[in-house]
Chains A and B, each alone.
Chain A
């Protein structure tokens, strides 16, 4: 699992304007992060709640469907949530425009 995670981190690092990457396990604990600890924990808690909600909404709309990715654009950032089986990844980007 950690080899896969490392691969993915390398891939995301090569993307432009990445402000932070947090890998969070199913217990809501940030297992790898490029941000400092308090902020990582903050992202872990909030994004996990949001991800669960999103998963539920997708299932409610169509029980045969599944959430594969979540992307949010905010005033300052672009936040991407990528759910995997045992963990999920949060990538925070600063839009270049």
Chain B
């Protein structure tokens, strides 16, 4: 369990993180950096989304499976990583993410 905790804490340090939620197999947020209401809403919305994405992936190719899903919106990026029953939802601010990506790609180019 401490492995999960460590991963969770690492996630919180990523750029522009607005919230991170670890959801168990029953759809309940078991660790979260957001308030309870938002956590529940996100967990509730993302579970069917992941289920559908997984189903669609398998439909096109039955041996394939979803590892993660990244939804980019105007304001934020929502990353949902699903493994077995658990789900990690990470919400990051779009501008902060873009900035971080620009910085990392320019530093790669100059080195």
Contact = CB atoms under 8 A, between A and B. Distances in A.
Contacts, number: 78
Contacts of A47: 56
Range class of the A interface residue count? 20 to 34
B101 interface: no
Interface string A29-49: 000000000010011001101
Interface stretch (B6-14, B22-30, B44-52, B103-111): B44-52
A73 B72 CA distance: 14
B71 A74 contact: no
Range class of the B interface residue count? 20 to 34
Interface string B55-79: 0110111011111111111111000
21 contacts: A39-B60, A42-B60, A46-B56, A50-B56, A57-B45, A57-B71, A58-B71, A61-B45, A62-B73, A66-B73, A66-B74, A67-B73, A68-B73, A68-B74, A71-B69, A71-B70, A72-B53, A73-B66, A74-B61, A74-B64, A74-B66
Interface of B: 41-42, 45-46, 48-49, 52-53, 56-57, 59-61, 63-76
Interface of A: 39, 42-43, 46-47, 49-50, 53-54, 57-58, 60-62, 65-77, 79
